[in-house]
Structure 1
């Protein structure tokens, strides 16, 4: 059975919530340290959930042995903490059970990298 999950419709959801849209824009500036591309465009953002004075981000690795997972988590958490009010709770985790595929990448990035 294929465990791959399609990329969530982040852009569609973002248009309905200005705060979520703002935080997604912040995450678009976080680059994967190995590839140098946005974690959003790479499809590494599995979910971004806002609650009362909190934000929870779940990332997925590009491989089961992603050597830069700790850096990705730290960079995303730092970006969110800088963008959120100081009293907000910020949680970032890596979902090691999720399977990343190139289809999770934005269309523009797939085209640019020749994966379309």
Structure 2
């Protein structure tokens, strides 16, 4: 299974990581962070999942909530010994080019 975001790690972890991240919804637009294109990359190795992500705006008022949900959902999906690190980045800046086809259809773009 190919991940819908840049991924480096064991193939067996792609489904649980993807499912966990699609459960995280940006409440401002009612779409999950994967379809919004907020996940810039996931690196899973040596018992640690490192996730690089962004927000649709640097002024996003729910950024902390979304990051907390990402950590919670990954914690539920991964083996208990795995550590989770979420890095919020602003480069490259998010744009509508990041949206999945599903998100474009939802937004009627």
Same fold (TM over 0.5): yes
Asked whether the 8 Å contact 2:5–2:34 carries over to 1, the reply is: no
CA distance in 2, matches of 1:114, 1:32: 18
Asked whether the 8 Å contact 1:33–1:71 carries over to 2, the reply is: no
2:20 aligned with 1:20:
no
Partner of 1:43: 37
CA distance in 1, matches of 2:97, 2:64: 24
CA distance in 1, matches of 2:49, 2:26: 20
C-alpha displacement of 1:67: 1.2
Partner of 1:11: 4
After alignment, is 92-101 or 46-55 more displaced? 92-101
CA distance in 1, matches of 2:24, 2:54: 14
Superimposed CA distance per residue, residues 68-107 of structure 1 (whole angstroms, 9 cap, x where no aligned partner): 1101100001100111122111001210233111111111
After alignment, is 16-25 or 90-99 more displaced? 16-25
Q: Which structure: greater strand fraction?
A: 2
Unaligned ranges ≥5, structure 1: 1-8
Partner of 1:69: 63
Asked whether the 8 Å contact 2:6–2:41 carries over to 1, the reply is: no
CA distance in 1, matches of 2:54, 2:32: 13
- Structure 2-normalised TM-score? 0.86
> Following superposition, which runs of at least 4 residues in structure 1 exceed 3 angstroms of deviation?
none
CA distance in 2, matches of 1:12, 1:58: 10
C-alpha displacement of 1:58: 1.1
RMSD across aligned positions (CA): 2.0
Unaligned ranges ≥5, structure 2: none
- Structure 1-normalised TM-score? 0.81
